Amino acid sequence: GPRSDAIANRPDFGSLEVYYQTVHRAEGGYSASGAEALVRWRHSQRGLLTPASFIPVAEEGGLIDALGFWVLREACRAACKWPDDTFVAVNVSPAQLRRPNFAEEVFAVLEESGLPPSRLELELTESSLIEDNSDVYSVLKSLRSRGIQISLDDFGTGFSCLSHLMRFDIDRIKIDRSFVSLLGTKANGAAIIGAIVALSRNLGISTTAEGVETEYQRDFLAALGCTDLQGYFFSKPVPLRELDCFREPES
């Protein structure tokens, strides 16, 4: 279709842009612990497109690898200039993880950029893990053995068996914003999030609550023991040039 043609005609990814949304520590004044890279496509006619409108097309057209590595390279280069105790999180499609050389290619990007592996977090979705693919298991093992952090995105929206997910050693769970939006309503948002946080804590896994939009949610999630918070209340995704919180103070 016209959309995939448009992507194919731009092999240099000239109109892609990486936006960043900060993630904040739930303790000690909500300082920024890192940022998530979120790709955008600046379309000449249709304006700024979000990933939902072109990631699936890139996946079908076999371009997700090239796109994913372009984003990864941009993100690692950017994070090199942020404080040492911060991370950059990059989303990974299931198709990328199926490549046998995925881990080696990630290591190459890290080396080229100079970013320490421990400062990179890769966000996977449940669908990456439910394929019950031993290759995925060994790719993840390889990534973690070098110190790369692995997080599970949109946690709670899939239908995977929890014990199955826990077979994979992961560093962080990102609690889906649909649960956060239930806080302060009659639904059991607090009980669900509390259970996820308690389980994660026992397993030594960090928790980021996504979609934090209000001060009430921020305070509630911090009290529940989430380790990090992310959402419009702190910042929307912004272009790198507008990401002020990691900039060195000008002297």
Instruction: Work out how close the CB of 64 gets to ligand G at its nearest, in angstroms, rounded to a whole number.
Output: 6
Q: Around Cβ 191, how many Cβ atoms within 10 Å?
A: 12
100-109 contacts, C-beta under 8 A, 24 or more apart: 100/135, 100/139, 102/139, 103/139, 103/142, 103/143, 103/146, 105/69, 106/72, 106/143, 106/148, 107/146, 109/69, 109/72, 109/73, 109/76
For ligand G, the closer CB: 156 or 237: 237
Residues 6 or more apart from 185 whose CB is under 8 A from it? Answer: none
Binding letters toward ligand G, positions 98-137, x by CB under 6 A: ----------------------------------------
For ligand G, the closer CB: 91 or 246: 91
Q: Under the criterion CB under 6 A, does residue 170 sit at the interface with ligand G? A: no
Nearest of 214, 199, 95 to residue 155 by alpha carbon: 199
Q: Under the criterion CB under 6 A, does residue 189 sit at the interface with ligand G? A: no
**What residue 21 binds from Mn ion, Na ion, ligand G, none (CB within 5 to 8 A, per partner kind)?**
ligand G
Q: Under the criterion CB under 6 A, does residue 34 sit at the interface with ligand G? A: no
Residues 209-228 that bind Na ion (CB under 5 A): 210
Euclidean distance between CA atoms 51 and 31, whole angstroms: 27
Q: Under the criterion CB under 6 A, does residue 21 sit at the interface with ligand G? A: yes
Q: Which of 127, 216, 232, 239 binds ligand G (CB under 6 A)?
A: 232
Kindly list the residues in this chain that would bind Na ion in the complex (CB under 5 A).
153-154, 210
